[in-house]
Amino acid sequence: MDGTRTYLVGSRVVAIIDPGPDVEHHVRAVVREAQGAQRAMVLLTHGHPDHAGAAEAVASALGAPVLGVMYGTGSVLADGDAVETDHGVLVAIETPGHSKPHLSFHWPDARAVFPGDLVLGEGDTTWVGEYPGCVADYLTSLARLRDLAPDVMYPTHGPSIEDVPGTLDAYEAHRHGRISQVERIVSSRPDATPAEILGSVYGDMIPDGLRGAVLDSVEALMHHVSQS
């Protein structure tokens, strides 16, 4: 998987979506692309450092506000709020699940969506384990993207997604598959711990350094199953 992708919509009035990590060469590149604009805005899908870390540096260099999820001195965009660029409006869509809060940005004129980390440009899963209730939120958010019926999605990790229905089908199927696995284990072993369920579901397939994140995901699945 490649790094964080930052998107610019507009030329004279430009929106910078997910400015990326606070890495000097990345900040310079983003500022260079936007510095000819009459006005710039920094939009955040969510506050994870690989998406929002450069927000303050880019905003300061361009004299731009930070909008979207709350971050630093930025301003919150509510569901349905529109941001004007000279290439059309971007509409904030509440899509929690990967994180809470999390926004996607709908670009109706281009029949496109910027989904942040709700879906990725490769594979059939993203991390869902940040808070109780995130699994239900995530499935609802995928349905919201489907209802928008975009022709293309531009995720912040990986290439653009041209087969939107197929991708959403795959992400939903993966999550429902994990839910079913946990349901079966909990049904036969009601006292199973998160660590035991993790071992049953993933075995030794967890990459180094990711066990904590996967355990959080398992606990989120257990919470979802308990609420079903």
Copy the structure tokens of residue 123: 């594979």
CA distance 191 to 110: 50
Residue 161 in contact with residue 121, Cβ under 8 Å?
yes
Confidence of residue 108 (pLDDT cuts 50, 70, 90): very high
Q: What are phi and psi of 31, to 5 degrees?
A: -60, -40
pLDDT in the model for residue 2: 67
The answer to whether 36 and 60 have CB atoms below 8 angstroms apart is: no
Q: Nearest to residue 42, comparing CAs of 80, 12, 9?
A: 9
pLDDT band at 1 (very low <50, low <70, confident <90, very high): very low
Q: What is the tally of structural domains in the chain? A: 1
Structural domain contains residue 66: yes
Indicate whether 228 pLDDT > 90: no
Structural domain contains residue 226: no
Q: For residue 2, tell me if it sits in a domain.
A: no
For residue 1, being part of any structural domain is answered with no
pLDDT digits (tens, 9 = 90+) for 175-224: 999 999 999 999 999 999 999 999 998 887 787 788 999 999 999 999 99
Q: What is the pLDDT of the chain when averaged over all its residues? A: 95
What is the pTM for the complete model shown? 0.94
pLDDT at 25 over 50: yes
**5-19, 72-86, 140-154, 195-209, range with the lowest pLDDT:** 195-209
CB atoms within 10 A of CB 33: 14
Domain-embedded: residue 183: no
Give kind and range of the element (H or E) at residue 158. Answer: none
Residue at 49 is within a domain: yes
Angle formed at CA 45 by CA 170 and CA 98, multiple of 5 degrees:
45
**Do the domain assignments include residue 95?**
yes
The residue count of the chain comes to 228
Residue 56: give the domain boundaries.
7-164
Among 53-57, 137-141, 155-159, 199-203, which stretch is predicted with the lowest mean pLDDT? 199-203
Tens digits of residue pLDDT in 41-70: 999 999 999 999 999 999 999 999 999 998
Question: Does some domain include residue 215?
Answer: no
- Contact (Cβ atoms closer than 8 angstroms) between residue 129 and residue 217: yes
Task: Identify the CATH number of the domain in which residue 141 sits.
Answer: 3.60.15.10
